[in-house]
């Protein structure tokens, strides 16, 4: 069939592809990216490339993929296909879409993105589920259920302690976007305050994930938004938690000492004596920073403040969560301080902490095992400490997050000059030089 015999839209698709110098596989990958799937497998790319070939031969109109073509070619669907072809494909008889037709078209495209994502085994792109259910949502008068969103934050706080680094980023991003959309159309003061509180929690947890995968810039932006949203919510405990948790994260990814101190100062000032998980985290961050800097007096005073705060907190039954401050977290902070100060209480605190963590809390267990390695190195059992650190990381790759990477760097820094060329030291250095790989993206 010659170009003169092909439908105009088929000729246009082929011409646009060739003008960009793209082959069929590159085009297919870009189209998957246009519907929110950045990493399709080879079989999916091949299948879509075959479909594209049929489109360019005019065998079938790309009704389901028209939106993706338009995105990758940076054109409107009307420019690319012509309104008459679109109307025929959609089964319309007029030359323009009525509002209901347009709404149906948007939902059809959202459904396509849902089907494509689920078939690829990837997370559904942000906004897709909201668009699919938008009609139902409108019928329900856009009711905002802040309690449900609070529960979502609570569940994320639990899941983040047991998942590999970055595993929740995509879901958190999608929920941050949705809550932002709710804020744009919600004017009831109490609902807005609640949604700001939720947004602060989601943004803070997203920042934790971004720190754990090593994306410093994105994490910094997320922490800034989390603080602003927390302040806008007026909830003191949330404001303190954001700053206390950001201080811990800042220390773990080696932001400046002053940045960490500023965050702890803010948390303590806002708390104004009211005990909370965030206040305990702020004191713990101060204790860890002081211990590493060799300020024994300051470290022991701060860890005592951490314990005093912990002892006034109600202890829930929800298990491990990054939103609270449990006894196991207290003992982990104490172990870190005692190890760096060479305090003989380190061993007992470590064993007690390990006994409290459930097996699924692999991130925390991994960090504690790295503290054991650091303690051995500190005691000049260099070979055993290095080998233990290497084994821990090799056996628990999915549990390596910012805290573990910090401890590995500290262990390497503790080594005497003559030990830095040891095979185990080189291996530990190589393990830590590999960039953390985000998961779930």
pLDDT of residue 296: 96
Listed residue (205, 276, 264, 201) closest to 236, CA to CA = 276
Domain boundary among 104, 135, 166: 135
pLDDT of residue 153: 95
Q: To 5 degrees, how large is the angle CA 268–CA 366–CA 317?
A: 60
Does residue 88 lie within any of the structural domains? yes
Domain boundary among 135, 158, 181: 135
Listed residue (195, 189, 202) closest to 145, CA to CA = 195
- Most confidently modeled range among 59-73, 168-182, 345-359: 345-359
CA distance 421 to 407: 19
Lowest mean pLDDT among 121-125, 271-275, 321-325: 121-125
The residues, any chain, with a CB within 8 Å of residue 10's CB and separated by 6 or more, are 55, 56, 57, 58
pLDDT of residue 243: 97
Domain boundary among 72, 102, 135: 135
Place of tokens 């069939």: 1
pLDDT of residue 330: 95
pLDDT of residue 228: 94
Over residues 163-182, the mean pLDDT reads: 85
pLDDT of residue 84: 65
Identify whether the C-beta of residue 179 lies closer than 8 Å to the C-beta of residue 296: no
Give Cα separations from 395 to 195, 369, 433 (angstroms).
Answer: 40, 11, 17
Q: Is 310 exposed, middle or buried (0-12, 13-18, 19+ CB in 10 A)?
A: buried
pLDDT value at 93 more than 80: no
Segment 74-86, tens digit of pLDDT: 888 888 887 666 5
Does residue 222 lie within any of the structural domains? no
Segment 17-62, tens digit of pLDDT: 999 999 989 998 888 888 777 777 787 788 888 888 988 998 888 8
pLDDT value at 122 more than 70: no
pLDDT value at 104 more than 60: no
Does residue 248 lie within any of the structural domains? no
pLDDT of residue 273: 93
Over residues 154-176, the mean pLDDT reads: 87
Over residues 407-412, the mean pLDDT reads: 94
Question: Percent of the chain having pLDDT more than 90?
Answer: 53
Q: Is 441 exposed, middle or buried (0-12, 13-18, 19+ CB in 10 A)?
A: middle
**CA-CA-CA-CA torsion sign (68, 71, 72, 75):** positive
- Most confidently modeled range among 116-120, 161-165, 269-273, 356-360: 269-273
Q: Which two tokens mark 2? A: 């010659």
Which one-letter DSSP state was computed for residue 421?
A: T
The residues, any chain, with a CB within 8 Å of residue 6's CB and separated by 6 or more, are 57, 58
Q: How many helices (H) and strands (E) does the chain have?
A: 23, 0
CA distance 175 to 173: 5
The dihedral formed by the CA atoms of 313, 316, 320 and 325, expressed in degrees to the nearest 10: -10
Q: To 5 degrees, how large is the angle CA 21–CA 22–CA 25?
A: 160
Does residue 195 lie within any of the structural domains? no
Q: Is 145 exposed, middle or buried (0-12, 13-18, 19+ CB in 10 A)?
A: exposed
Which one-letter DSSP state was computed for residue 159?
A: H
pLDDT value at 125 more than 90: no
Does residue 240 lie within any of the structural domains? no
Number of domains in the chain: 2
Does residue 61 lie within any of the structural domains? yes
pLDDT value at 143 more than 80: no
pLDDT value at 300 more than 80: yes
pLDDT of residue 434: 65
Q: Is 342 exposed, middle or buried (0-12, 13-18, 19+ CB in 10 A)?
A: exposed
Q: Which domain holds residue 68?
A: 8-135
Over the chain, what is the mean pLDDT?
A: 84
Over residues 228-236, the mean pLDDT reads: 95
Put simply, whether the predicted model's pTM sits higher than 0.75 gets the answer no
Listed residue (208, 441, 425, 180) closest to 433, CA to CA = 425
Identify whether the C-beta of residue 333 lies closer than 8 Å to the C-beta of residue 287: yes
Lowest mean pLDDT among 123-132, 227-236, 265-274, 390-399: 123-132
Does residue 423 lie within any of the structural domains? yes
pLDDT of residue 70: 85
pLDDT of residue 90: 47
């Amino acid at each position: 069939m010659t170009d003169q015999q092909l439908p105009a839209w088929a000729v246009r698709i082929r011409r646009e592809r060739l003008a960009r110098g793209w082959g069929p596989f590159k085009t297919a990958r870009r189209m998957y990216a246009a519907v929110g799937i950045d990493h399709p497998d080879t079989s999916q790319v091949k299948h879509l490339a075959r479909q594209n070939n049929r489109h360019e031969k005019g065998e079938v109109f790309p009704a389901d993929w028209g939106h993706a073509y338009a995105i990758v070619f940076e054109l409107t669907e009307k420019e690319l296909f012509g309104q008459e072809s679109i109307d025929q494909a959609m089964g319309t008889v007029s030359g323009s879409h009525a509002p209901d037709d347009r709404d149906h078209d948007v939902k059809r495209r959202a459904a396509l993105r849902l089907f494509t994502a689920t078939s690829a085994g990837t997370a559904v792109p942000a906004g897709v589920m909201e668009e699919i259910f938008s009609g139902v949502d409108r019928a329900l008068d856009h009711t905002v259920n802040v309690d449900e969103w609070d529960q979502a934050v609570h569940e994320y706080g639990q899941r983040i302690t047991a998942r590999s680094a970055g595993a929740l980023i995509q879901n958190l991003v999608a929920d941050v976007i949705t809550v932002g959309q709710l804020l744009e159309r919600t004017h009831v003061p109490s609902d807005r305050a609640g949604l700001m509180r939720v947004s602060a929690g989601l943004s803070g947890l997203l920042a934790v994930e971004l720190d754990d995968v090593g994306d410093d810039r994105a994490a910094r932006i997320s922490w800034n938004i989390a603080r602003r949203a927390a302040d806008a919510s007026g909830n003191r405990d949330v404001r303190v938690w954001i700053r206390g948790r950001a201080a811990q994260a800042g220390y773990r990814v080696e932001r400046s000492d002053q940045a960490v101190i500023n965050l702890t100062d803010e948390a303590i000032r806002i708390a104004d004596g009211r005990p909370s998980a965030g206040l305990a985290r702020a004191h713990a961050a101060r204790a860890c920073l002081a211990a590493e800097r060799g300020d024994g007096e300051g470290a022991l005073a701060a860890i005592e403040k951490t314990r005093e705060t912990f002892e006034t907190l109600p202890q829930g039954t929800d298990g491990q969560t990054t939103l609270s401050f449990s006894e196991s977290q207290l003992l982990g902070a104490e172990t870190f301080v005692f190890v760096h100060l060479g305090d003989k209480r380190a061993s007992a605190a470590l064993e007690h902490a390990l006994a409290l963590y459930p097996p699924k809390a692999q991130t925390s267990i991994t960090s504690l095992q790295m503290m054991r390695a650091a303690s051995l190195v500190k005691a000049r059992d260099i070979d055993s400490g290095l080998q233990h650190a290497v084994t821990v990381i090799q056996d628990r790759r999915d549990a390596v997050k910012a805290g573990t990477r910090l401890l590995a760097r500290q262990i390497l820094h503790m080594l005497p000059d003559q030990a830095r060329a040891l095979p185990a030291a080189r291996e530990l250095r190589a393990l830590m030089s590999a960039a953390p790989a985000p998961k779930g993206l």
